[in-house]
Structure 1
Amino acid sequence: MKQLTVTAKTVEGAITQALQELNTTRDKVDVVILQAPSRGILGFGARQATVQVTKISDPIWEAEHFLRELMLAMHYVVTVSVEKKGTDVYMEIKGDNVGQLIGRHGQTLDSLELLVQTVASKNNDRYLRFHLDIEGYRQRREQTLIQLAHRIADKSIVLKREFVLDPMPAHERKIVHLTLERRNDVRTESRGTDPKRTVVVIPIVNTSSVRSRGV
């Protein structure tokens, strides 16, 4: 939170000066008049206006501004779209060669998302969960994981043994768990610790068995 106390001849003059120093606009600040101006009597007792101006934190603006500045510093020309749904904020980057920022299995993208979340959460009281995507990668990755989950489940049934998938972040493990919990021939569980925590697909006979354990 940024706050300034400014003194000027008039209240509006003090507010204008504060807005310039905070590099913001009137609708993005709270203003408290600490002292009203007075001309005094016969020139005696005259006083200037003093106001306290506090910049209102906007986590969505902070996140978008940070992301645009970061892309500019990395020499990427991009567009950033933002959509808010409840406490979830979905941001997507589009532009030339931005696919390089996805990384192996989205690891670089996950790191960028964490940075955005950290910046947005700093000095902000209301909780928002930020989801970052690049050129629709998240949706494509989800479909890939769903197909992988079913393919491994089928192999597990045919070969009658469990299969251990490659390590995945929590949100990807959740996709696999949710995909396979609809089946009555396999169950899943997570093993290990991050960042090497993985999903294990296990064939079952008893359909009343526990569907999944852990994320």
Structure 2
Amino acid sequence: MAFEKFTGKTLEEALDQAAQAKNVMVDELHYTVTEEKSGFLGLGKQVEIEVYVEKDVEQFIHDYIQTYFDNAQLDGEVAISNDDGFYHINVNTSNNAILIGKAGRSLQAFNRLVKMAASAEFKKKVGLLIDVNGYKQERYAKLCRMAIRVAKDVRRTKIDASLDPMSADERKAVHNALANMQDISTHSEGEGDKRHINILYTPGKETE
């Protein structure tokens, strides 16, 4: 469990203790009051809280992935950066083909697994993206080049086109790549693994 418990006569006192122990400011704490005793005539009053900070989330993600590598007897080094509560995980390994899989499907499944584990541990939605040996950046570049070619055909023929299904992060990269293309707009549709991007001919669309 990544949570730590702290007690005090008041909530403020318990938070102060947690902040000192975690070496952070009070407003950086994520906490839940787990027990509150009123005492008798104000004596014995106590507040207990469960606390975690962003570093605890990073440590959990790191340890979870590292444990997976150890159990699967795979080599791997994990580096994590926190972008305002969204975690970017870079993995360096010689077993990239196993982790990535065909068209990145194994990596997508692993990403979902780690995301679900972290979200369950901290009882909130944890956003994260795992990249293996720079695969994601190369994949984004390839998909964006393809999408631009298709968009140019749509603009020339005035016939809308649909791309193959992609993961949410890949769709975001394509949307951004085409956002300022004249006479072209994009729209995602479909559910789950079938969610894809439609490239639409939109004459007169304003661009920045």
- Which category of TM-score, normalised to the shorter sequence, fits these structures? 0.5 to 0.7
Which residue among 73, 90, 93 is the counterpart of 1:92?
90
Of stretches 99-108 and 132-141 in structure 1, the one that deviates more from structure 2 is: 99-108
Q: Which residue of 2 aligns with 1:173?
A: 171
8 A Cα contact 2:101 2:107, kept in partner? yes
Q: Which residue of 1 aligns with 2:102?
A: 104
Q: Which residue of 1 aligns with 2:197?
A: 199
Displacement, 1:55?
Answer: 9.2
* Counterpart mapping for 1:11-50 below 5 A: none
8 A Cα contact 1:187 1:202, kept in partner? yes
What is the CA deviation profile of residues 169-197 of structure 1, one whole-angstrom value per residue up to 9, with x for unaligned ones?
A: 22222222222120122122223222212
Which residue among 178, 183, 186 is the counterpart of 2:184?
186
TM-score, normalising length: structure 1: 0.65
Aligned residue pair count: 163
Q: Which residue of 1 aligns with 2:76?
A: 78
8 A Cα contact 2:75 2:95, kept in partner? no
Displacement, 1:130?
Answer: 2.0
Which residue among 128, 131, 142 is the counterpart of 1:133?
131
Q: Could you tell me which amino acid in structure 2 is paired with residue 92 of structure 1?
A: N
Q: What secondary structure does 1:195 align onto?
A: helix
Q: Unpaired runs of 5+ in structure 1? A: 4-26, 29-53
Which residue among 155, 158, 162 is the counterpart of 2:160?
162
Q: Could you tell me which amino acid in structure 2 is paired with residue 120 of structure 1?
A: A
Displacement, 1:86?
Answer: 2.4
Displacement, 1:133?
Answer: 0.9
Q: Could you tell me which amino acid in structure 2 is paired with residue 115 of structure 1?
A: L
Q: Which residue of 2 aligns with 1:9?
A: none
Q: What RMSD, in angstroms, separates the aligned Cα atoms of the two structures?
A: 2.9
8 A Cα contact 1:87 1:127, kept in partner? no
Q: Distance in 2 between matches of 1:77 and 1:166?
A: 33
Q: Distance in 2 between matches of 1:2 and 1:163?
A: 47
Q: Distance in 2 between matches of 1:69 and 1:193?
A: 32
What is the CA deviation profile of residues 46-97 of structure 1, one whole-angstrom value per residue up to 9, with x for unaligned ones?
A: xxxxxxxx99652221211111111122221111112223212221111212
8 A Cα contact 1:59 1:121, kept in partner? no
Q: Could you tell me which amino acid in structure 1 is paired with residue 134 of structure 2?
A: G
Which consecutive aligned stretches of 4+ in structure 1 deviate over 4 angstroms post-superposition?
54-57, 125-128
2:118 equivalent to 1:120: yes
Going from structure 1 to structure 2, the CA distance change for 1:2 and 1:101 (only over 3 Å counts) comes to closer
Q: Distance in 1 between matches of 2:75 and 2:168?
A: 31
Q: Distance in 2 between matches of 1:61 and 1:87?
A: 14
8 A Cα contact 1:99 1:135, kept in partner? no
Q: Which residue of 1 aligns with 2:10?
A: none
TM-score, normalising length: structure 2: 0.67
Q: Distance in 1 between matches of 2:187 and 2:68?
A: 38
Going from structure 1 to structure 2, the CA distance change for 1:167 and 1:139 (only over 3 Å counts) comes to same
Q: What secondary structure does 2:176 align onto?
A: helix
